[in-house]
Amino acid sequence: MIVIIIQSAATSFRDRLPEDGKLNFTQLANKYGHECVEHDVVTEDGYILKLFNIVGNKSRPIFLQHGFMDSSDTFIIRGNTSLAIALAEEGYDVWAGNTRGNEYARGHLTLNPETDKKAFFNYSQHEMAVYDLPAMIDYVLHETRQTQLKAIGHSQGTMIFYILAAEKPEYNDKIKLFISLAPICYLHHTKPLTSTAIKLWPLVEPFFKELGIVEAFSRNSTAVALFEFICTTKDIGYPLCITIMFSFAGFDRKELERKFVPVISGHFPNTASTKNGDHLVQIALKKRFSKYDYGEEGNVLLYGTSEPPNYDLKNVRMPVALISARNDKLSALKDVAILRDALPNVVYDHVMERRKYNHIDYVWGKNAPQQLYPMVFKLLNTTSYHRISKLF
């Protein structure tokens, strides 16, 4: 009964969302003055991913990759001040990708996400990296007739690029520059609430398996309905909603104003597989950037060793620019430092000047055009990527 009440109430409040909370990626691009073309990309293992292209100069392709529980919408929901629109205004041919399972990537050649849940959602960030990214990158290069592209990732969107370059080193040559916003790789030093959730996950995860729960936060789920209900409730909704988000991202109220929060709730959170969450927790608890742990027997069958092997970051030859923040509870500066020392080709390493800058300010921050974009465009406009820190 409570679930029905929540879903019913959330539906009525959803109708009252700001327009940008209801529009999809293409509609938002059109609203803000840009042609957008939708492409369906099929991965080697049969997943069908929606790839959005804000049409620009085909000689300047740039690929955007969202993070955990997110979608391509994250780069455009700020409208005229969003990163996708800012790049389009500069003439870039903007391509925004989606990883398997989210609302734009729930197709498959043989599996149905509703009736074949266990098989469909049997993936973590590993499969996103070795199947989704190659399919989308190759598609963009084919469509633009280029041999290289530049890319920007946020949060888990950075991690899957590191995995791709480690596992399929040939893709290093296809990435001219990778800009990592809120880099996620090592998770040794996540802040209190996140670290507590990580420690509790091994106790909860067996119950999920027992109940057959393999999908979390689909856009039609009760959890998402509750989040939308909270974030669209007048007066008390705003402080409750930002408290939920900031507890994990880092508090920065100035960058997430009251009128924008309902827009976010129309797009976030998005579907994630529980295996994806499990893999992130394994990396955090083991303090190793390693492949998925299937248990000793499963590891021996799959990897030939009792423990899952580490991803070899020495293979990540593509030029990487790391951009991090002091107030980021998920991408801690100490963990970014470990990553920086492990990567062989970090061309730029920058900590955001504003001390309150947090994990979500990169994509949703009100003042990102002033605080972040000038640095991004300087990086993109650089022609030779060696060590370029002296430019800033």
The letter for the amino acid at 374 is: P
CB within 8 A of 190, min separation 6: which ones?
198, 284, 329, 330, 332, 335
The DSSP secondary-structure symbol of 103 reads: T
219 in Cβ contact with 361 (< 8 Å): no
Task: Tally the residues of the chain.
Answer: 392
25 in Cβ contact with 73 (< 8 Å): yes
Name the helix (H) or strand (E) containing 175.
strand 175-181
Dump strand ranges (E) for 35-162. 36-42, 47-54, 57-65, 92-96, 107-108, 149-154
For β-strands 175-181 and 149-154, DSSP reports them as: parallel
Residue entry with tokens 């797009």: 267
How far is it between the farthest Cα atoms of the chain?
A: 61
Dist CA 54 CA 35 (whole Å): 6
If DSSP codes are grouped into helix, strand and coil, which group holds residue 133? helix
264 in Cβ contact with 184 (< 8 Å): no
CB within 8 A of 165, min separation 6: which ones?
171, 172, 175, 315, 316, 317, 318
320 in Cβ contact with 180 (< 8 Å): yes
- The residues annotated with a catalytic role in the active site are 155, 359
